[in-house]
């Protein structure tokens, strides 16, 4: 599923030249706070038993409370895909305003 999201969005970087992946500082400043907040939520949900992962269907590397590696990657890959998406929309619809134009 992570591979699906990666392949589904990262081609935008190459073909639409959105230049998200080279803007490392801005990417980190946008994703890190989000990932931290949602990982806290995920951690709370796992310890409270809101949801759980099938240990047979993950690669088998676990963080605290049995949270699989894939779950940590999820909080990086999905937000990154969202940034690629808005920049792709911007590149195809240059007149639409996002609010950070000069």
Indicate whether 7 belongs to the interface with another protein (CB under 8 A): no
By C-alpha distance, which of 71, 96, 92, 87 is closest to 10? 87
**Nearest residue to 7 via CA among 92, 86, 81:** 81
Instruction: Give how many residues touch another protein by CB under 8 A.
Output: 45
Q: Which of residues 18-77 bind another protein (CB under 8 A)?
A: 19, 23, 25-27, 29-31, 33-34, 37-38, 41, 45, 48-54, 57-58, 75
- Provide the minimum distance between the beta carbon of 20 and another protein in the complex, in angstroms, as a whole number: 9
Q: Both tokens of residue 69?
A: 């590696």
Residue 46, number of CB atoms within 10 A of its CB: 17
| Candidate list 14, 59, 60, 96; residue touching another protein; CB under 8 A | 96
Tell me if 84 sits within 8 A of 20, measured CB to CB: yes
Q: Measure the CA angle with vertex 42, ends 36 and 43; round to 5°.
A: 90
Q: Where do contacts with another protein occur on this chain (CB under 8 A)?
A: 1, 4-5, 8-9, 19, 23, 25-27, 29-31, 33-34, 37-38, 41, 45, 48-54, 57-58, 75, 78-79, 81-83, 85-86, 89-90, 93, 96-100, 102
């Amino acid at each position: 599923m992570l591979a699906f999201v990666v392949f589904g969005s990262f081609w935008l970087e190459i073909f639409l030249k959105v230049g998200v992946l080279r803007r490392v500082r801005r990417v980190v400043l946008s994703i890190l706070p989000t990932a931290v907040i949602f990982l806290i939520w995920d951690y709370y949900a796992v310890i409270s038993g809101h949801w759980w992962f099938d240990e047979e269907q993950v690669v088998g590397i676990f963080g605290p409370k049995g949270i699989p590696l894939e779950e940590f990657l999820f909080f990086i890959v999905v937000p990154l895909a969202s940034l690629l998406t808005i920049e792709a929309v911007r590149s195809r619809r240059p007149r639409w305003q996002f609010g950070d134009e000069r």
